Structure 1
């Protein structure tokens, strides 16, 4: 019988912290899954399998298991993602990852984390250089999305399917996740669009989508998206 290959440092850290991570990430596993997918941490069939699960805890558990089984590189990438500002803002309880013992940080590739984070996982709000695409377009950040969300009313589903091209099944899921807060569900919809569009999630693009056809929003509610980027 073949011996099981020993886990690398980052894999060991993820496996040891699994119960705490599952509990934390279960609050919005779809958000983590989309970011993991953008980094190609899962194969397509693994992504579809995790996405199809209806139990948030099971989604978080299977996502972690898949990444741990991928090897030390994938595990280190996930740890870097989870210690980035966007994840820390979305899941405040992840703060404990930044307070790991030094040995754990080294085992997880901690010496490389701070350098790579500046290249890959910094939020657009942290680095002015990250606020623009190569063509100079301003990327939307979460405070933009929240401001827009406050100006979208009962037509949010029509906007989601017609303007943002979001599947109805995803909108149903968002409604289930945020049944009591209209602004939170609209914000989740816009954040999902931003995650999917990646480099196309510019302020100008969002403004254009929300300015057309029957779902057009009043100009004074979205024109701030066209404000120029101010030099720091």
Structure 2
């Protein structure tokens, strides 16, 4: 009799010790990337951030994600495959479970239902899409860049998860403020790929006090037709 595949949360638990060892090399970098993808609740973010020892910070981060369930677990596994994380933590490439895992949260939820004897849904879950669900456009990035002031580096590090090294490179390559901010936003869009939606960018820029007026980024939630 073949074994059932591991659930997403079980994969994280199995890799926990190994991930703590690898990610403790730069725990803050991982935390900001996880926060940029909304893998943690606001309270969970503060709990992780308050940890002073890198290994404890990674341990708390993993525990928070495990508690949030399969969706957060899937988000972490996708984050660990991201190019920025792979480049920062080369040892992640040797973790075979990361490459082998391809289970989606929906599949895991269905498996859990079958184990509990719950009836399976006949129709696939519908995906609700808001006005800003489309990928953010370069024109919108330019408009956001013009709205961001001197706190652009803080926004890049804390809200968008852009590495400090990348911010320094952008600052050296571009002399004009708006160009620096624009290329920072383009880097974020490239790193997030299909998750780089206008609504997500609006959410990230709105979650902390970055001295960014809400009305200056409200256009990110408008319909695509208004910015064609």
Q: Give the TM-score taking structure 2 as reference length.
A: 0.48
Under a length normalisation based on structure 1, what TM-score does the superposition of the two structures give?
A: 0.47
